[in-house]
Amino acid sequence: MSNNHSRKLGRVLAAVCAIALSFGMAACGSNNGNNSSNKPSSSSDGTQMAGVKATGTLGQKPKITFHTPMTVVNNSYAVLQKGNGAALGKDNHICVQAVALNAKDGSEMMSTWEKNTPDCSMVMNAEGINKTYYDVLKDQKINSTVAFGINDHNKASTSYIMALTLVSQSKPITRAEGDKVTDVPANLPKVTLDEKGAPAIDFNGYKPGNDLVVQPLIKGKGKKLAETDTIDAQYTGWVMGEDGKPSKFDSSWDRGKPANFPLQGVVAGWRQGLAGQTVGSQVLLVIPPALGYGNQAQAKIPANSTLYFVVDILYDYGQTQSQQ
């Protein structure tokens, strides 16, 4: 799939850091102003932040006020607006709109509201989120606004207030969901699924050529992928073994959890084949060597191998940022 078949993006962060990174701001708690570390600092145990207020309609861009200049304690927080929507569900994907304000003078440093570009990279569990942020967010509801203090020890000494409004959530799917495609060409490899959705393949006498084959097997009804997006997917990959039968070389199903990766970080056949497909879809990819690993042998993949994949597209996080 990726250059080592199991690359993990590791981009599920505390929302405050994910959004800060996406706007080119310094990483939370960074010591040198670079973005090499995705994990927010834990320099505070979650001190409540006083003097920050929000007004406005729930679920819309709030007006944030505080006395300036303000001294910011890193990872401090304040619940500014209690939401009127559903409680956040464990393991749900959470979308947040954000506005960042300079602690020195209250000026707006960035906002996702105007272009309606919420960050949906946060998954509501304790595995990928700094404990301070998780403990604050887990008890909130949709349309809540929570502020976090970020005290970056970078060259500019930029401290700011990041106000996050929780605007939506969605339950993750575990396998492809949609309409079964009924006009799959009869000469393509045959795919069967076990009760959990894990695929098996029969080459069916198929003779691969030099062109990429992209065949949806289930057509999902979700968002359409772009080549720059990051996704969650379940997949299995095979090559042809010496006996002419499928030889499995990698499978997220066998590892028991979906893979998370940017399409910019995988072989060209994946990137080209999945762009334009929709979340919820299951796609058969037959990738010629030129769009796979070429003449470079990989673990369990001989040089000049045609790659066969069945991919379930489970979630689209949107555009991958250059810092990640």
Q: What is the pLDDT of residues 129-184, one digit of tens each?
A: 778 888 999 999 999 999 999 886 655 667 899 999 999 999 999 999 999 999 99
pLDDT for residue 198: 98
pLDDT of residue 3 exceeding 80, the answer is: no
pLDDT for residue 117: 86
**Domains detected in the chain:** 15-170 (3.10.50.40), 179-319 (3.10.50.40)
pLDDT in tens, 219-231: 999 999 999 999 9
Contacts made by residues 304-307, CB under 8 angstroms, sequence distance 24+: 305/239, 305/240, 306/208, 306/239, 306/240, 307/237, 307/238, 307/239, 307/267, 307/269
User: To which residue do tokens 């956040």 refer?
Assistant: 88
Output b/e per residue, 69-82; b: 16+ Cβ within 10 A: ebebbbbbbbbbbe
User: To which residue do tokens 């994910």 refer?
Assistant: 18
pLDDT for residue 1: 55
pLDDT for residue 120: 86
Assign 214 to helix, strand or coil. strand
Query: CA–CA separation, 301 vs 319, rounded Å?
Result: 30
pLDDT in tens, 281-315: 999 999 999 999 999 999 999 999 999 999 999 99
pLDDT in tens, 228-265: 999 999 999 999 999 999 999 999 999 999 999 999 99
pLDDT of residue 35 exceeding 80, the answer is: no
Q: Which two tokens stand for residue 71?
A: 């001294």
Segment 67-74 shows an average pLDDT of 92
